[in-house]
Amino acid sequence: MNKLKLAYSTCPNDTFMFYGIAVGIFKPSFGFDIVLKDIEELNKLAFEGETDITKLSFFAYFKLADRYKILNSGAALGRGCGPLLIAKEEFDLKDLKNKKIAIPGENTTANLLFSIFCPECKNKKEVLFSEIENEILKGNVDAGVIIHETRFTYKLKGLKKLVDLGKFWERETGNPIPLGLIAVKREYENEGKEFDALLKKSIEYSFKHPDEAMPYIKKYAQEIDDNVINSHIQLYVNQFSIDLGEEGKKAIVDLYKKAFEAGLIKDYREDIFL
């Protein structure tokens, strides 16, 4: 077997979780090459079949469920951590359907949640997540859906929160919001199970040795302020990241069904977990 291609994002929550594997503290029995990209780039690579074990947005995964299964470890899923809809100034949300909205990628969970929140909103512009604040400030869009570190920086730039899409989902369902996951190609299910156990150990190791992991995290972070990085990790890496558990799996299945019922994805299948 050739080396598997392992892909995850440059965001602090991913580099925190994968640190132990990236530096060789935890080694699977199979060889692998690591690719680090922005989340929407990772989604696109998966659609092209380029990655074997990969970070994905849930919206992308729901479209790729025939090809991949979800690992129990490595997910970004929780409460109070959803995408935010922001703008320069507050406006009546009844006008939202007439506004131009920046999204961090067509296949991101952020876009899925926004599509559920505002099905009539069709005027969207795909923008790299780290540039959405600037697009709003320049007047190129009326509002934007932000994720990752920008949740902690938009206020510093004078921008206003219109909607917390995570809280919207939590109110609607009572579930934590699924944002991202680690998936393995179905033909590598055995390798995926081995890797799943190692990823769990890697996450637990970083929790015990956060200072050791920080240089690796800072190497890739868009925002290098320690407080922002630590806030990011605390928000997105939690018990669900170590193991989805029944609550996490239920939240994922409910979001999957909602996306299918809303006509945002074409197919639905039961066997999605490793």
Looking at residues 25-36, what average pLDDT do you find?
97
pLDDT tens for each residue of 216-273 = 999 998 767 788 888 889 989 999 999 999 999 999 999 999 999 989 999 999 999 9
Q: Provide the residue type at 63 as one letter.
A: K
Catalytic-labelled residue, pool 63, 148, 151, 258: 148
Active site annotation includes 148: yes
- The predicted structure's pLDDT at residue 152: 81
pLDDT tens for each residue of 134-166 = 999 999 999 999 987 788 889 989 999 999 999
pLDDT tens for each residue of 69-99 = 999 999 999 998 889 999 999 999 999 999 9
Burial class of residue 86 in the structure, from the number of CB atoms within 10 Å of its CB (0-12 exposed, 13-18 middle, 19+ buried): buried
- The predicted structure's pLDDT at residue 150: 82
Binning pLDDT at 50, 70 and 90, where does residue 185 land? very high
d(CA 35, CA 50): 10
Whether the Cβ atoms of residue 95 and residue 74 lie closer than 8 Å to each other: no
> What CATH number labels 84-173?
3.40.190.10
* pTM of the predicted protein model: 0.89
Q: What is the mean pLDDT of the chain?
A: 94
The domain over range 4-78+178-261 is classified in CATH as 3.40.190.10: yes
Whether the Cβ atoms of residue 192 and residue 53 lie closer than 8 Å to each other: yes
Closest CA to 218 of 48, 72, 10: 10
- The predicted structure's pLDDT at residue 223: 67
Looking at residues 173-197, what average pLDDT do you find?
96
State phi, psi for 56 to the nearest 5 degrees: -140, 150
Looking at residues 12-35, what average pLDDT do you find?
97
β-strands 4-9, 53-57: how paired? parallel
Burial class of residue 160 in the structure, from the number of CB atoms within 10 Å of its CB (0-12 exposed, 13-18 middle, 19+ buried): middle
- The predicted structure's pLDDT at residue 242: 98
Residues of the chain with CATH 3.40.190.10: 4-78+178-261, 84-173
- The predicted structure's pLDDT at residue 266: 94
Residues 6+ apart with CB under 8 A from 143: 85, 86, 87, 96, 99, 100, 101, 102, 136, 162
- Which DSSP state fits 51? -
For the cut 80, the answer to whether the pLDDT of residue 46 exceeds it is yes
